Structure 1
Amino acid sequence: MNLRIDILTLQLFVAIVEEQSIAKAAEKKHIAVSAVSRRISDMEEMLQVELLYRHSKGIEPTSAGYALLEHARIVLGNLAHLETELVGYRQGTRGHIRLFVNRSAILESLAQELGEFLVLHPLVRVDLEESISPEIIQAVTENRADLGIFGGNILAPDLQVFPYRQDRLVAIVPRDHALAARAKVRFADLVDQEFISLEKGSSIDTLCVKAAAELGRQLKLRIRVSGFDALFRIVEARMGVGVVPMEITHGRFDPGSLVAVPLDEPWAQRTLVLAVRNRASLPPATRLLVEHLLAAEAK
């Protein structure tokens, strides 16, 4: 038997049982009595079973009718729950956000701001992936990420880009290094040092390589690392110097071993940006997160 029972007919059947009257159910649903009767008759004919007893005191379900009533209420309840969930997705109270970010953003401000957002929207799920700037741009462009946060010195011509945060780059040197006592340092003072660099293509690596090239030099790259903690440990072991954002240095190394010296370069004031394919067409939850992050930046 191929059953085809539409939602309105189930709603009418439940209303008839609850009101014990076809006329009252029709009035409640704003449908003609004859149309309601016809729907119930068609359903009984399709199911080949009687669903309702009609007597002088009104209408009550048969045993088959009670079975249908139980399942109809389950189906209608599930549909109501589904509607509530879908409304949540439309309004942004539910959703799934794919977020690609660089390590600086996570350590500087994003973790706290994302936590605040999820307190406000506990039914939103976020997949957070850490990567370097070019890979973040590619992920957003290819729709593998809904939004990305990366260094603003890396161009993303196919994306909509918004300023997210500013940070200040500093040189990390051992406490007994010749540059450690300086109030600030030019990049020209670093370019001849053994250099500990972050991942190739990352925002900071790109800035340092470009700065060296503008001085007509090449970085004396000794070790390339994938994280700031590794960079601190290697510099602490006196294998070279490095460049990191000032904001991520607080409490991350022993000040008796390492010193952060501000870089005296225009490009050392770095902008992190937030990028999307098209802000106007973002899913509601993603749009809410973008608004939350940009509002936090404006404070």
Structure 2
Amino acid sequence: MRFDLTDLRLFAHIVDAGSITGGAARAHMTLASASQRVLAMEDALGTPLLARSSQGARPTEAGRTLAHHARLVLEQMERLRGELGEYGRGLSGHVRLLCNTSAMTEHLPQPLGRFLAAHPRVSVDVEERPSDAIVAALRAGTCDIGIVSDVADVDGLQQFPFRRDDLVLAVPPGHRLARRRRITLAEAIGEPFVALAEGSPLHAHVAAQALKTGRRLTYRVRVGSFEALCRMVEEGIGIGVVPRAVAGRYAAQRSRPRFIAIAEPWAQRRLLACVREADALPLNARRMLQALLGEPPAPDLRKSRQ
């Protein structure tokens, strides 16, 4: 049984994409070549690795085992590549980072920019996903670092405080609530809301809190970004919930929404930077984690293990 790194990388891509076609595209390989490699792996093992259907391809039990070990091998190779780069200076590094909406738009750009400026040979793949999906990816070994809300179930992962991410209520200037300094969701629930698009984790979080009061939110419009949400609120279309960091960016504007603290525990959130095991991260991923945490170049991350 001989699998090379190309085989392992291709198979991991196929499992992640849910199809041989998608996996081949991610591996920059033709469909015919990818299919032939999978067949060769199955012949070598004497058992199917994928259950193929019109909806795509999902791994069999043997396939899941192969995917798990493939990711471990690829992770070790990435670690080797990064650490050897310290000596050769000719190798590039690669870090896979997943983060939720608030981290992506409000908190990540500055530390990421500093990291990339300090490490010009390193590339970073950043993808926005819901916190629960990020946790699943970390446990499956398909990303190096994940930034999630503290409401996610991060049991078994190492967790590091990243940023405060409190939520506030945005209301139009002149609105009946605009003079309030603190408010509960129950006091505002009768107003029309501007919300993020369906499927947004923040939207789901706020909607779940509304249901706990026995009422549902009424939506006037749903938008794709915090900026669009604040613009809609500013125009008087409705009210909305945003992270406090978003409110901070509007502080210097003369005509802007008014932001009110939400006086409830569910609105007092933290973002966590999570990994499976900091000491086992490839060198460049460890550096990325240190940059996110604002730490000096070589902290003892083991002291923060949960």
Distance 1:239 1:190 in 2: 14
The alignment yields a C-alpha RMSD, in angstroms, of 3.0
Determine if the alignment matches structure 1 residue 276 to structure 2 residue 275.
Answer: yes
Q: Is the CA contact 1:193–1:240 (under 8 Å) kept in the aligned structure 2?
A: yes
Amino acid corresponding to residue 104 of structure 1 in structure 2: S
CA-CA distance at 1:182 after TM superposition: 0.9
Q: CA deviation at 1:251?
A: 3.5
Provide Cα deviations, 1:186-226, integer angstroms capped at 9, x if missing partner.
11112121122224454432431232122122222333322
Q: State the one-letter code of the partner of 1:267.
A: W
Q: Which moved more, 1:142-151 or 1:179-188?
A: 142-151
Matched, 1:145 2:146: no
Is the contact made by 1:173 and 1:240 (CA closer than 8 Å) also made in structure 2? Answer: yes
Equivalent position of 1:210 in the other structure: 208
Instruction: Name the TM-score, length of structure 1 as normaliser.
Output: 0.63
| Residues 142 and 176 (structure 1), Cα distance of their counterparts in 2 relative to 1, 3 Å cut | same
**1:271 to partner: Cα distance:** 0.3
Structure 1: distance between partners of 2:105 and 2:130: 14
2:241 to 222, 240, 243: 243
How far did 1:84 drift? 9.7
Q: Distance in 1 between matches of 2:205 and 2:284?
A: 34
Give the secondary structure class of the aligned counterpart of 2:167. strand
How far did residue 227 of structure 1 move? Answer: 1.1
1:89/1:284 contact within 8 Å kept:
no
Deviations 1:240-283 (A, max 9, x none): 21111111223448542411111111222210111223323211
- Partner Cα separation in structure 1 for residue 136 and residue 250 of structure 2: 31
- Counterparts of 1:1-299 in structure 2, within 5 Å, are 87-88=84-85, 94-157=92-155, 159-200=157-198, 202-252=200-250, 254-296=253-295
User: Which deviates more from structure 2 when the two are superposed, residues 268-277 or residues 218-227?
Assistant: 218-227
- Cα deviation 1:33-82 (Å, max 9, x = unaligned): xxxxxxxxxxxxxxxxxxxxxxxxxxxxxxxxxxxxxxxxxxxxxxxxxx
Distance in 1 (CA, whole Å) between partners of 2:209 and 2:200 is 14
In structure 2, do the counterparts of structure 1 residues 90 and 194 end up closer, same or farther at CA, with 3 Å as the change threshold?
farther
8 A Cα contact 2:166 2:268, kept in partner: yes
Structure ID, larger Rg: 1
**In structure 1, what residue type is equivalent to 2:280?**
S
1:60-116 C-alpha deviation (Å, 9 max, x unpaired): xxxxxxxxxxxxxxxxxxxxxxx9986116899941001111232233332111122
Are 1:117 and 1:292, in contact at CA under 8 Å, matched by a contact in 2?
Answer: yes
Corresponding residue pairs, total: 216
How much has 1:237 moved relative to structure 2?
Answer: 3.0
- 1:290, 1:115 → 2: CA distance? 13
AA of the residue aligned to 2:84 = V
SS in 2 for 1:250: helix
Q: 1:114 to 1:182 in 2, by over 3 A?
A: same
Instruction: Return 5+ residue gaps in structure 2 as ranges.
Output: 1-79, 300-306
CA 216–85 in structure 1, closer or farther in 2 if over 3 Å, else same:
closer
C-alpha deviation, 1:155, in angstroms: 2.0
Q: What's the offset of the Cα at 1:125?
A: 0.9
Measured at CA, do residues 162 and 91 of structure 1 come closer, stay the same or move farther in structure 2, by a change above 3 Å?
farther
Q: Are 2:82 and 2:93, in contact at CA under 8 Å, matched by a contact in 1?
A: no
Unaligned runs of 5+ in 1: 1-82
Residue type of the alignment partner of 2:169? A
What SS is found at the alignment partner of 2:269?
A: strand
Counterparts of 1:269 and 1:150, CA distance in 2 = 14
CA distance in 2 between partners of 1:91 and 1:217 (Å): 62
